[in-house]
Structure 1
Amino acid sequence: MRLVFMGSPAFAVPALRALCSAGHEVAAVYCQRPKPAGRGQRVTRCAVHQVADELGLPVRTPQRLRGNTEEEDHLRSLGLDYGVVVAYGLILPAALLHAPRRGCLNIHASLLPRWRGAAPIQAAILAGDSETGITIMQMDAGLDTGPALFAESVPIGPDDTSATLHDRLSEIGGRMILLALSGEWPRTPQPEDGTYAPKLSKVDSVVDWSRPAGEIERRIRAFTPWPGTETILGGEVLKIVTAEIVDAGGEPGVVLDDNFTIACGDRALRLTRIKRAGGATMDGAAFLRGHDVPIGTRLG
């Protein structure tokens, strides 16, 4: 197949590598523009851009696609069979969706129609879902509403984070897109009703201790590695890396013992690994031994 590949983050990299390794011709790669990143705000190419350069593939980084006739003309000139889209970051207008002869396929990290939208992996963990997966979908003008070719599910374990699911699902996506391109598959329309996973922001990282311990624990796992989960201790930001649910109770946000157990709206959480701003990750109990945090101290 002659393809255009559209994707930006590390999640999309296994699919790009798989397509090239299988002998498909990637005529162009579209991804987000290089942006300042890190403490030094050094302009950095996204993960897909870096791999495309490594593979010698032509890269295009338009700031927008809607109303961009230059990109429409360019895609039509390439004589494409399919577009493959994975977490690209820009909405594709109808003209671009139909530029390839057979349209565009999307690798989506959920079992559609559950968790359409920007953060499906995080949403599945937050909701306490027992499974998630990858759906290969024929794209239409809606938000993850196009007909599905097929899906593959994976269980969500009690220790899974967004990071661990991200890595498993990205590899599955690379394998599944090759299967999708290997023959003709029926397109099954999705139900109109679906659940949506909104885009996350740094504001979502702040813990509300009035919520149940189980919900906060899922939040910690869902927001690993980003946006993270944090609270305030003595005016200082404290990042919570891992925690476990404890059968205890008290006033929400209050330290209950010398094992860094914090009361929640229902039950409590023991902070097993934490990180101070600019510091290393450390055991929660070890942190208490080196810092004066009396029982009864309030977090948040």
Structure 2
Amino acid sequence: MKYRIVFFGTSDFAQHILNNLLSEHQVICVVTQPDKPHGRSKKLVPSPVKEFALNKNIDVLTPLRVSGIEDDLKALKADFFVVAVYGKYLPQEILDLPEYTTLNVHPSLLPKYRGPSPVLAAILNGDKETGNTIMIISTKMDAGSILSQSRIPISPADTTQTLTKNLSEDGSNLLLKTINDFKNLVPNPQEESQATYTKIINKEDGHINWNKKADKIEREIRAFYPWPLAFTFWQEVRLNVLKAEVSDKTLEAGKVMIENGDLYIGTKSFALKILEIQPAGKNPMNSKDFINGYRSINESQLT
């Protein structure tokens, strides 16, 4: 059966979910966040979901508050509302509008990692697997009853960027299966005692503390890619550390060593071998190219 769906979403993750949803159902409207200023020019830029929807000739709404478009949504007579990384609160009167229910695609194995940064949290904590949850939305954040879940492995090389892509592909398929089998599914309440929460990430979270252990910092480098990026300072130069691996060498925390053409930085445990780095205003470069241009960094202390 082909259902009429209103889709709420904003990010690249949501855009992939929307694209797959169109393969089997009719998306009659998209609700996304308003255009936001970007870069130094502060030019207004649409969300990935808005740009995609307009290219597909789907009507788009960008309210400051969702309660302000209640009449518009009611008039659409949708079977389902589907929410994926939308970023705004939906009041109960909105959740109750569709014929069947309002579904949410959340990229974690709920009740673990409720909140805004579940993919990043899974990498930071060194998890071996994560997954997606399709739930019926409630007014409490990510606390609705679960209809379905799926699991995927986390690679030792995964960044938030690559893992988000994998989760969006997995979540897209899980959502279609859930909608198509909706009438046969029984919602399962979440176990509140098992709930954990993630936080909003800001730019300063990427500032590396070299007094942490090497494996923790290596996970931060992957978790904070592509934003806000893990970074440190050499004198007054910001260095974005894009890729690293734990070595068997030991150095004072924050101390730089160049040895046999390789770049190492000390931590609380073993030194990190830097594989890719980006000085402020420059393109990313491998460690050998960086050493050629910044050899005086040897034996310096990073902050």
Asked whether the two chains share a fold, i.e. TM above 0.5, the reply is yes
Q: Which residue of 1 aligns with 2:22?
A: 20
Amino acid at match of 1:232: F
1:77 is displaced (CA, Å) by 2.0
Q: Which residue of 1 aligns with 2:94?
A: 96
Deviates more, 1:213-222 or 1:8-17: 8-17
Q: Which residue of 1 aligns with 2:10?
A: 8
- Alignment check: 8 A CA contact 1:76 1:99 kept: yes
1:222 is displaced (CA, Å) by 0.5
1:294 is displaced (CA, Å) by 5.0
Amino acid at match of 1:15: I
Give the whole-Å Cα distance in 2 for the aligned partners of 1:175 and 1:290: 47
Q: Which residue of 2 aligns with 1:248?
A: 249
Q: Structure 2 matches for 1:270-285, cutoff 5 A?
A: 270-285=273-288
- Alignment check: 8 A CA contact 1:6 1:85 kept: yes
Q: Does 1:201 align with 2:202?
A: yes
Deviates more, 1:80-89 or 1:276-285: 276-285
Pick aligned residue for 2:294 from 283, 291, 294: 291
Give the whole-Å Cα distance in 1 for the aligned partners of 2:153 and 2:207: 27
Percent identity of equivalent pairs:
37
1:226 is displaced (CA, Å) by 0.7
- Secondary structure class of the residue paired with 1:132: strand
- Alignment check: 8 A CA contact 1:140 1:146 kept: yes
Q: Which residue of 2 aligns with 1:238?
A: 239
Cα distance change on mapping 1:260 and 1:94 into 2, 3 Å: same
How many corresponding residue pairs? Answer: 296
Deviates more, 1:240-249 or 1:122-131: 240-249
Give the whole-Å Cα distance in 2 for the aligned partners of 1:20 and 1:257: 53
Q: Which residue of 2 aligns with 1:79?
A: 77
Give the whole-Å Cα distance in 2 for the aligned partners of 1:86 and 1:182: 18
Give the whole-Å Cα distance in 2 for the aligned partners of 1:131 and 1:287: 34
Q: Which residue of 1 aligns with 2:155?
A: 157
Give the whole-Å Cα distance in 1 for the aligned partners of 2:187 and 2:221: 37
- Alignment check: 8 A CA contact 1:3 1:25 kept: yes
Give the whole-Å Cα distance in 2 for the aligned partners of 1:114 and 1:10: 22
Q: Structure 2 matches for 1:202-217, cutoff 5 A?
A: 202-217=203-218
Could you list the per-position Cα deviations for residues 176-204 of structure 1 after superposition, in whole angstroms to 9, with x for gaps in the alignment?
11111112211111100311111111011
- Secondary structure class of the residue paired with 1:256: strand
- Alignment check: 8 A CA contact 1:14 1:173 kept: no
Could you list the per-position Cα deviations for residues 16-50 of structure 1 after superposition, in whole angstroms to 9, with x for gaps in the alignment?
1222221x222211001011213432211110001
1:289 is displaced (CA, Å) by 2.7
Give the whole-Å Cα distance in 2 for the aligned partners of 1:287 and 1:137: 47
1:119 is displaced (CA, Å) by 0.6
Give the whole-Å Cα distance in 1 for the aligned partners of 2:140 and 2:86: 15
Q: What TM-score, normalized to structure 1?
A: 0.95
Pick aligned residue for 1:122 from 120, 123, 143: 120
1:292 is displaced (CA, Å) by 3.1
Give the whole-Å Cα distance in 2 for the aligned partners of 1:27 and 1:164: 30
Q: Does 1:45 align with 2:43?
A: no
Could you list the per-position Cα deviations for residues 196-222 of structure 1 after superposition, in whole angstroms to 9, with x for gaps in the alignment?
111111011100000000000000001
- Alignment check: 8 A CA contact 1:35 1:45 kept: yes
Structure 1, unpaired ranges of 5+: none
Could you list the per-position Cα deviations for residues 105-128 of structure 1 after superposition, in whole angstroms to 9, with x for gaps in the alignment?
001101111111101000000000
Cα distance change on mapping 1:294 and 1:49 into 2, 3 Å: closer
Deviates more, 1:139-148 or 1:249-258: 249-258
Cα distance change on mapping 1:11 and 1:74 into 2, 3 Å: same
- Secondary structure class of the residue paired with 1:175: helix
Q: What TM-score, normalized to structure 2?
A: 0.94
